């Protein structure tokens, strides 16, 4: 393997590695704009220039492969001058509207100017070339051409990752600008990644614009539950409000995030978020509604026996919540009518990330099915359609997924568990709200069998609790508690599934 020495430190790496990669492996940071580890190398910005022994002039580290015995330096006067000159060139026509730019605080132009630039502009503001500002670019993005440094990361993303080719560089020389190709709209399923990989504030997210200065944001790692991919995310939040989701790259799951996944946090603040329970369409405090649900369960069991009640698990719920549902059926209601069988077609749908299965935990549900067995889906549908069932306890989306197979539900009462009203697809005698995945810890198994957990970043609305807590209270009200009183107890109970 070729051996290279950078700033006095030596490393050997496989042939084909670049000076920038070698420096990174040695813990030496080389500034860059156009380089992105998940895109092809374009070598357009020249910010990564370094000195290489025996080379007549500076070389760009992102595009220069290492050679055995190579010696490079990243901290010489010539390198520092080159960085300063590149910055002066990039900023010559830049509007420097940092006070109103969303990228402020995480902008490489700002950061590198402070680290390497600190030059006085030789171009007066009135002489700067003006370009279009705040141009709508698809559903989620805004493009400000004046701020663009023409690194072409956005163009390469659309060409190489989504392969939708919406963007191009139009014009020549200092009249060049990023443009949307004629007849195209920047609406691919991954468009918000462009706002993230743009190193300056040229592409910004319409959703995040002007909502929060980035230095106020706190960050916590979690998992997207928008589909079975189980993408790793970083939740950016402040004062009990989530502002955006960013990828937390993991070679086993994701480099990017899809737009739908990035928007999953919207359910937290949605106008149809359930903050109270509903009983016969009337709003009710949650505790009395739980007692009402227990009464419905008691009545059904008293009149027609426990086998007139069905409990459904859900591929949309965490292992914790499904365990509580299984325990409710087995321990509390003593019905054998438990269904944990939700077969789903899984696999990457678009060759990038999005999974055919929009539920995050069908594989976690299988772990519980191995332990609790229960009805398969065919038997469940037959049973419900037979008319022998008087009451169903189910998470809203799991019940909706059966809708087409169910003939008639109007003579069956339901206790439905939901986060938002839009999840509800059925009239229900009782709707109980529960905490969303950003508000509670929960384990999920993605389509590859990877066990991961969500981390709470914000608190649920007053009185709204994790679903396993709601079900534990419900079981206590029926007189046969499943005893999931606190997180320690829960962890102990699910330990056999999350080894
Ligand atoms: S819009 Fe952003 S990502 Fe695209 S070329 Fe300009 S600076 Fe680079
Ligand atoms: S692909 Fe699935 S898990 Fe990944 S961000 Fe999109 S919805 Fe979330
Ligand atoms: S990062 Fe190397 S030329 Fe842009």
43 shares its domain with 173: no
Q: DSSP of 140-183, one letter per residue?
A: TEEE-GGG-----HHHHIIIIIS----EEEESSGGG-EEEEPTT
Which ligand approaches the C-alpha of residue 357 most closely?
2
Mutate to test the pocket of ligand 1, among 33, 132, 137, 149 (most ligand atoms within 8 A of CB): 149
Residue 119: what pLDDT? Answer: 83
Cα four-point dihedral sign 474, 476, 482, 484: positive
Do 376 and 463 belong to one domain? yes
3-state secondary structure of 50: strand
Kindly report the protein residue whose alpha carbon is nearest to atom 3 of ligand 1: 198
- The pLDDT averaged over each successive group of 10 residues in the chain (499 residues) is 96 96 98 97 97 96 97 97 96 91 94 89 88 91 96 98 97 91 96 98 96 97 98 98 98 98 96 94 94 95 90 97 96 95 96 98 97 94 90 95 79 93 86 97 97 98 97 95 88 86
Of 212, 244, 269, the residue that ends a domain is 269
| Pocket lining: 198 vs ligand 2, CB cutoff 6 Å | no
Stated as kind and residue range, the H or E segment containing 296 is helix 286-304
Domain boundary among 75, 106, 123: 75
Q: What is the DSSP letter of 437?
A: T
Note whether 360 and 230 are within 8 A (CB): yes
List, for residues 402-459, the tens digit of each pLDDT value: 888 877 777 889 999 999 999 988 788 899 999 999 999 999 999 999 999 999 999 9
Q: 203 C-alpha to center of ligand 1: Å?
A: 7
* Signed CA dihedral, 367, 372, 373, 377: sign only: negative
- pLDDT digit string (tens) for 165-193? 999 999 988 889 999 999 999 999 999 99
Picking from 128, 95, 92, 88, the residue whose alpha carbon sits closest to that of residue 112 is 88
What does DSSP say about strands 3-6 and 70-73: parallel, antiparallel, or unpaired? parallel
Does residue 231's CB lie within 6 angstroms of at least one atom of ligand 2? Answer: yes
What CATH number is attached to the domain comprising 332?
A: 3.40.50.740
Select from 241, 269, 297 the last residue of a domain. Answer: 269
With 0-12 CB in 10 A as exposed, 13-18 as middle and 19+ as buried, what is 220? Answer: middle
Are residues 128 and 21 part of one domain? no
**How much is the pLDDT for 499?**
76
Helices (H) and strands (E) in the chain, counts: 14, 22
The residue range of the domain holding 297 is 277-494
| Same domain flag for 450 and 348 | yes
Would you state the pLDDT for residue 387? 86
What's the Cα-to-Cα distance from 316 to each of 331, 340, 401, 403, rounded to whole Å?
Answer: 23, 12, 11, 16
What pLDDT was estimated at residue 497? Answer: 85
Write the residue with the smallest CA distance to atom 8 of ligand 1.
151
Q: Which atom of ligand 1 is nearest to the CA of 153?
A: 3
Q: What is d(CA 224, CA 234) in angstroms, rounded to the nearest whole number? A: 9
Q: Let me know whether 255 and 227 are in one domain.
A: yes
Same domain, 137 and 199: yes
Structural domain total, the chain: 3
- Would you state the pLDDT for residue 129? 87
CB 47 within 8 A of CB 88: no
Do 489 and 346 lie in one domain? The reply is yes
What pLDDT is stored for residue 120 in this prediction? 87
Give yes or no: residues 262 and 287 share one domain: no
> Same domain, yes or no, for 208 and 344?
no
In this structure, are 366 and 479 located in the same domain?
A: yes
Could you tell me if 33 and 45 are in contact, meaning their C-beta atoms sit under 8 angstroms apart? yes
What spacing in Å lies between the alpha carbon of 369 and ligand 2's midpoint? 25
Q: Given the CA of residue 32, which atom of ligand 3 is nearest to it? A: 1
CA distance 278 to 239: 28
């Amino acid at each position: 393997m070729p051996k290279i020495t950078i700033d006095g430190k030596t490393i050997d790496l496989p042939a084909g590695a670049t000076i920038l990669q070698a420096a990174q492996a040695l813990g030496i940071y080389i500034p860059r704009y156009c380089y992105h580890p998940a895109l092809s190398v374009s070598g357009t910005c020249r910010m990564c220039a370094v000195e290489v022994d025996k080379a007549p002039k500076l070389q760009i580290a992102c595009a220069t492969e290492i050679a055995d015995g190579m010696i490079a330096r990243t901290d010489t006067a010539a390198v520092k001058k080159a960085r300063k000159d590149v910055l002066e060139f990039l900023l010559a026509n830049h509007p420097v509207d940092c006070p109103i730019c969303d990228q402020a605080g995480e902008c490489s132009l700002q950061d590198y100017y402070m680290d390497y630039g600190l030059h006085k502009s030789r171009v007066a503001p009135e002489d700067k070339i003006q370009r279009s500002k705040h141009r709508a670019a698809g559903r989620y993005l805004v493009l400000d051409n004046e701020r663009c440094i023409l690194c072409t990361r956005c163009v390469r993303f659309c060409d190489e990752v989504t392969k939708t080719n919406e963007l191009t560089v139009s014009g020549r020389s200092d009249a060049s600008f990023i443009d949307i190709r004629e007849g195209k709209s920047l609406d691919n399923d991954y468009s918000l990644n462009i706002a993230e990989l743009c190193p300056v504030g040229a592409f910004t997210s319409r959703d995040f614009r002007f909502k929060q200065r980035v230095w106020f944001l706190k960050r916590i790692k979690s998992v997207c539950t928008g589909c079975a991919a189980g993408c790793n995310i970083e939740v950016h939040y402040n004062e009990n409000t989530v502002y955006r989701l960013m990828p937390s790259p993991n070679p086993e799951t994701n480099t990017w995030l899809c737009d739908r996944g990035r928007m999953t946090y919207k359910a937290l603040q949605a106008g149809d978020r359930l903050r109270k329970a509903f009983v016969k369409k009337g709003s009710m405090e949650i505790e009395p509604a739980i007692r009402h649900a227990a009464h419905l369960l008691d009545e059904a069991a008293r009149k027609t026996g426990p086998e007139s009640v069905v409990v459904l698990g859900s591929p949309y719920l965490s292992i914790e919540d499904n365990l509580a549902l299984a325990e409710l059926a087995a321990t509390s209601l003593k019905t054998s009518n438990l269904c944990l069988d939700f077969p789903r077609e899984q696999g990457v749908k678009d060759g990038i990330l999005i999974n055919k299965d929009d539920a995050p935990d069908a594989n976690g549900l299988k772990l519980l099915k191995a332990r609790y067995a229960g009805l398969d889906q065919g038997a469940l549908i037959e049973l419900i359609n037979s008319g022998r069932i008087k009451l169903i306890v189910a998470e809203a989306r799991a019940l909706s997924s059966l809708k087409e197979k169910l003939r008639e539900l109007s003579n069956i009462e339901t206790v439905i568990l939901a986060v938002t009203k839009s999840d509800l697809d059925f009239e229900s005698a009782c709707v109980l709200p529960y905490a969303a995945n950003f508000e509670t810890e929960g384990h999920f198994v993605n389509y590859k069998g990877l066990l991961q957990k969500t981390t709470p970043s914000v608190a649920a609305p007053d009185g709204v609790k994790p679903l396993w807590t709601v079900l534990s209270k419900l079981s206590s009200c029926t007189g046969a508690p499943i005893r999931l009183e606190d997180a320690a107890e829960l962890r102990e109970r699910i330990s056999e599934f999350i080894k």
